[in-house]
Every structure is written in C-alpha cells, then in structure tokens.
Amino acid sequence: MKLLQINKLYPPHLGGIENVIRDIAESVATHSAWQSDVLVCQEKGKRATEKINEVGVYRATSFGRLFSLPISLDFFSLFKKMTKNYDLILFHHPFPLASLARFLFLNKKKPLAIWYHSDIVRQKIFYWLVYPFLYLDLKATKVIFVSSRRLAEKSPLLKKFLNKCQVIPFGVDLSNYAQDYSLEVSSLKSQHGRFMLAVGRLVYYKGYQGLLEALKSAPGKLLIVGIGPLENKMKEYIKDNGLEDRVVIITSRPDNLIPYYQACEFLVFPSNARSEAFGLVQIEAMACGKPVINTDLPTGVPEVSLDGISGLTVPVGDGDKLSSAIKTLWENDELRIQLGHNAKQRTEEIYSREKFNEDLRRTLENIVK
C-alpha cells in the first residue's frame, strides 16, 4: 500500500501541522506493507528529494510565500506526476494549491482522505476565492480527519460534512517524557527561578498581546519560547510597561522543550482565533504533569485541557479572567499540583502517540480495502 501526504511544508520547518505529518509518515513507514511519502514545497528554493527515516520527501520548487501560501508552479507538475502512483492520497487542509491541483489533475476514482486542521480565518476575501475548491475536496473525500469533535461541529464548512468526520486526537511519544532531565531542569530553575511558560510562534492568533496585558495585574514570571513577526512589537510593549524583569522571550528554539515544561509552574495558552484548532503544546505540557490555562475557542483547544480538571479555561480576549487564572495557579500550590496530576493522567489515557498511530492506520487501511 502506498500513501502520499500533501501539505505546504515539512520538517525541519517548525510547526504543529508539520510535526503531525511527520509522525503519520514515519508511523506508516514502520510497517513493511506500506510505503509512505510526502509532497510539499520548499520554503524557498529549487526542487529537492530526500529520504528521512524511511519517508520519501519531495519538495517542489518555490519562490517564497504569499499570504502563507507557497508560490510554486513546480508543485502542480510533481502533483500530476506523482499522484498516479499511490493507492491513497491524504491532503492536509487548508492548502489551496492542493485543492486546485486535485481539481485539475487528480483521477476522480483515486481514494482521497483529508485532514482538516483549521478554518481560514483572517484572509476573508481569499477564503471566499478558495471556498468552492475546499468544498469540492470535502465532497469528494472518503473521510475527513479532525483532531476534535468541537472543531467539526463549530466550523462553518465542516459542519456540512459531519457524517464524514472522524475524530482522532493528536498524541505525543510518552516515552520521551519518562527520561531524566533533572540537570536541565535545575539549570533552568537556577537561571529563571519560578516561571510560567508559553510556547508558540509570535503571531496574532496566539494571543500574546493579551497575555502581556494580563501580566500587568497578575503575579509571576513568564518565559515565551517562539519566533515570529510580532517579536519586535512584543519587546517594545514589554519595555514600555516595565515588564523586562518578568517576561523573557526565547527566540532560539531549544532542541528539547521537555525540560522547560518540567521546570515551569504551568503553561499559558491564550490563543484568540479559530486558526488555533488544537494546540499540541498543551499535550506536551500535560505529559509533564503541568496544568494549562487555555481559552474557550470554538475549536478543540478547550477539549484538550479541561476547565477545572487539568487546568483553567478563560473566555477569549478576557484579560481580567486571564489575569485571575494566572494569579490562582501561581499562588495556589495545592490546586496547581492536583490539576497537573490530572493533566498527566489525561494525556496517558487519551493523547499517546501509540493510540493516535493505531487509530489512524486502521482507518487508512479501511479506506483502501
């Protein structure tokens, strides 16, 4: 059986979707009965082909990106050539180039599956231009994978195809979290003292501006690990509001984030738009026994860490409630420890990579039978 996944980019590009695609590809590749490849675009540069952990990675020539979309004619050429040779095509949406390529070149009898990661939220005019193609993709597919039921039910587009949606929550490799990182944790605590943690790209939908505003009336020190276009604006705000001693932005992403999760008191995940559909970093923190403060988005975000069980959930954009939640977890040791214990247990029961891989492979095999 030959599986081809199609997406914008692939690691080493940093991103939650890219990590999910790699996990799927490598999991499928471990089975001798499957061949697992991916078709993506270069961030910028000429076509390249390589083998990474038994996965064939085909990167189409790209001239860069516009509105987060690769500028690549070579993608269409590769798509037309490659898709003929696979038993199953798995699209990762939203990716309008793939939708257009399917419309133009894909054999309508070819088995197709779609992983729908999030709605297009900010580029409203662009969304309506690509909506017909997305709709036709979803109509043509055999199954639509989603990370949460809430995403399927709240998405204006997905709720038209609820009967095709199959929920498979993402997972993490729990064995990584059982290793001894005590030296790294001690070093971080020695350097930063007590701190809360936020992890993610410095972009609008991560809600960092609201988090910084909430810190003006909440206690504690914050470490933010991420890079992105809002870095300078955030640093200016930190300086202008006298938060230099309490907020540290780490733009050189560590090779391993687990020591940071283990050293922190809790994770703050203040995303403010539907572009945030799940939040893998929530699971990563929970696997380390840390509670999460998240927001009540109409996506899977508040389904991952549950309010009052594995963390605290606050209304989107409510700075006062976010400030209060931070104060509660920072000052209430007993509550923080109990929520952290529940968070770890929840991850082990629901969000293991082993369970994710088993559920996904079983469904993929059923599609091509």
The mean of the pLDDT values for the chain is 93
Q: Which two tokens stand for residue 272?
A: 């403010």
CA distance 7 to 205: 21
pLDDT beyond 80 at 258: yes
Return the pLDDT at 124: 63
For the stretch 124-173, pLDDT in tens is 666 677 788 889 999 999 899 999 999 999 988 898 999 999 999 999 99
Looking at residues 334-353, what average pLDDT do you find?
Answer: 96
Displacement of CA 44 from its chain's centroid (Å): 22
Q: Which of 196, 198, 204, 272 has the alpha carbon at shortest distance from 233?
A: 204
Q: Which of 171, 157, 82, 79 has the alpha carbon at shortest distance from 118?
A: 157
Pairwise pLDDT comparison (325 vs 16), residue with the higher score = 325
Q: Give residue 163's identity as a one-letter amino acid code.
A: N
C-beta separation of 91 from 105 below 8 A: no
3-state helix, strand, coil in the chain (%, to 5): 45, 20, 35
Return the pLDDT at 122: 67
In Å, how far are 83, 135, 141, 152, 264 from 129, measured between CA atoms? 25, 11, 20, 22, 44
Q: Which residues contact 313 (CB under 8 A, 6 or more apart)?
A: 293, 294, 295, 296, 302, 305, 306, 307
CA distance 258 to 269: 16
Looking at residues 275-292, what average pLDDT do you find?
Answer: 95
Q: Which residues contact 267 (CB under 8 A, 6 or more apart)?
A: 196, 197, 198, 199, 261, 281, 282, 285, 290, 291, 292, 293, 311
CA distance 54 to 114: 23
CA distance 265 to 285: 10
Give the containing element (helix H, strand E) for 138: helix 124-140
Q: Which of 187, 189, 199 has the alpha carbon at shortest distance from 286?
A: 199
Pairwise pLDDT comparison (120 vs 11), residue with the higher score = 11
CA distance 96 to 47: 20
pLDDT beyond 70 at 120: yes
CA distance 365 to 28: 11
The CA-based dihedral angle spanning residues 106, 110, 111, 112, taken in that order and rounded to the nearest 10 degrees = 0
Model confidence, pTM: 0.87
Q: Which residues contact 229 (CB under 8 A, 6 or more apart)?
A: 202, 203
CA distance 328 to 309: 14
For the stretch 51-78, pLDDT in tens is 999 999 999 999 998 877 899 999 999 9
